[in-house]
Copies of this chain bind each other. A is one copy, B any other.
Amino acid sequence: MSPIKVGLLGLGVVGGGTWKVLTRNAEEIARRAGRHIEVTAAAVRDLDKAKRLVGDSVMLTQDGFDVVRHPDIDIVVELIGGDTLARDLIMEAIAQGKHVVTANKALLAKHGNEIFAAAHAQGVMVTFEAAVAGGIPIIKAIREGLTANRIQWLAGIINGTTNFILSEMRSQGLPFDQVLAEAQRLGYAEADPTFDIEGVDAAHKLTLLASLAFGIPVQFDKAHIEGISQLAAEDIAHAERLGYRIKLLGITRRCDKGIELRVHPTLVPMSCLLANVEGAMNAVLVSGDVVGPTMYYGQGAGELPTASAVVADLIDVTRLESADPGHRVPHLAFQPDAMDDTPILPVSEVTSSYYLRMRVQDRPGVLADIASILSETDISIGSMFQQPHGETEADIIFLLHQAREGSVDTALDKIHALSFVHTKVTRLRVENLL
């Protein structure tokens, strides 16, 4: 059978990795796909550099539209990132009747509804395994492996940079800034690390996972997002003493009133597998009503792990290319006419357990006053400990039982108004998961 023809948009880290994998494992891939997968054209910034990598057999251009409009090309692989040019190129590829494989989580989290609708109307596939958790086939697992289930919740370490930083902060006892600098030196963090450390990248990915799990449209703008840049080393140490590790988790859960969609640093019990995922590794825990908890672990970023997902998508698309569009796996796991309009819950309606740390004047009555504020707002204390800070102050750490976030906000407002509370209270969420 004749090879399927691929056009690459971008030959950077992931594009170069994709080229390498398609070349190096060409035989293994054809043994699986039943057809060779051939890169026919590529849009690149630097033509000479690209030519040194791919030689003469690939048409090279600096204009992505030359690729998406190329009549021979069956599948366009978008790896340039961003949400302006990438969006235009993908929409044009779809209009030209090409299938699209992309790793662009930011684009899909923001414009996925429009892109998937266009693809559905044109009868083409848009696949994005590489957009979440790199080489871990988590999208396939949720979209196809757990289809028997009403998925209840999922929680994932879906940003390697922040997991690396948190692992180092804990194991070395170092502050955030110092570890970030080290991560940048090692290439685990970018020169401008904002998207990673502030949780935005994780929220892009979580948005996609929530759609796949619950059959809801992508709603990135409704996600609650907190990063790790404000996380103090002492909270990591306190958590450890309490039997927890702090991970930046993306959590989405189906509740009676709506769907939780939130990214924040989270205390996770040490006995939980997720707490033991260290360094730049990713892992996603998915709980279904039939299967119970399942977990998926692997490298979440990097040239080859991401290329592994891009190429797996290429093989899927190759296999399904000739299938009747009505019988392919739906883009967002559910049929487009069967999407769910359950709303995303505002964070004030989320229920969680909490960790609070506050610095107070060390005098009688302080604990009683704080405890009575918590009690008035219907928040019950699981455990607490106090340690002196200097001569006249103390740090109090509480673990609270499950409470509504809005109630905790109210309690914190009252606690902040107390004259003997000297700093802003640190509030972290605790999830026991399994």
A145 to B316, CA, bound (A): 9
A328 to B321, CA, bound (A): 10
B145, B147, B299, B315: the one within 8 Å of A147 (CB): B315
Collect the chain B residues with CB atoms within 8 Å of residue A144's CB: 137, 140, 144, 312, 315-316
B297, B321, B338: the one within 8 Å of A327 (CB): B321
Chain A 297-337, CB-CB to B under 8 Å as 1, else 0, gives: 11100001101111110011001111110111110011100
Which A residues, 30 to 74, have Cβ-Cβ distances below 8 Å to chain B? Answer: 30-34
Interface residue total, chain A, C-beta cutoff 8 A: 65
Number of copies: 2
Q: Is A12 an interface residue (CB 8 A)?
A: no
Residues A335 and B137 in contact, CB atoms below 8 Å apart: no
Q: Is A179 an interface residue (CB 8 A)?
A: no
Residues A25 and B326 in contact, CB atoms below 8 Å apart: no
Q: Which of A28, A150, A294, A326 has the largest number of chain B CB atoms within 10 A?
A: A294
Q: Which of A129, A149, A334 has the largest number of chain B CB atoms within 10 A?
A: A149
Which A residues, 148 to 190, have Cβ-Cβ distances below 8 Å to chain B? Answer: 148-150
Residues B327 and A289 in contact, CB atoms below 8 Å apart: no
B146, B295, B315: the one within 8 Å of A295 (CB): B295
Residues A32 and B147 in contact, CB atoms below 8 Å apart: yes
Q: Is A403 an interface residue (CB 8 A)?
A: no
Residues B149 and A34 in contact, CB atoms below 8 Å apart: no
Q: Is A13 an interface residue (CB 8 A)?
A: no
B293, B322, B327, B338: the one within 8 Å of A298 (CB): B293
Q: Is A251 an interface residue (CB 8 A)?
A: no
Residues A32 and B312 in contact, CB atoms below 8 Å apart: no
27 A–B pairs (Cβ distance < 8 Å), ordered by A:
A21-B290, A25-B148, A28-B150, A29-B148, A31-B334, A31-B335, A32-B147, A33-B147, A34-B326, A34-B335, A134-B291, A137-B145, A140-B145, A144-B315, A147-B312, A147-B315, A148-B310, A148-B311, A273-B276, A276-B276, A290-B311, A291-B309, A292-B298, A292-B299, A294-B297, A319-B328, A323-B324
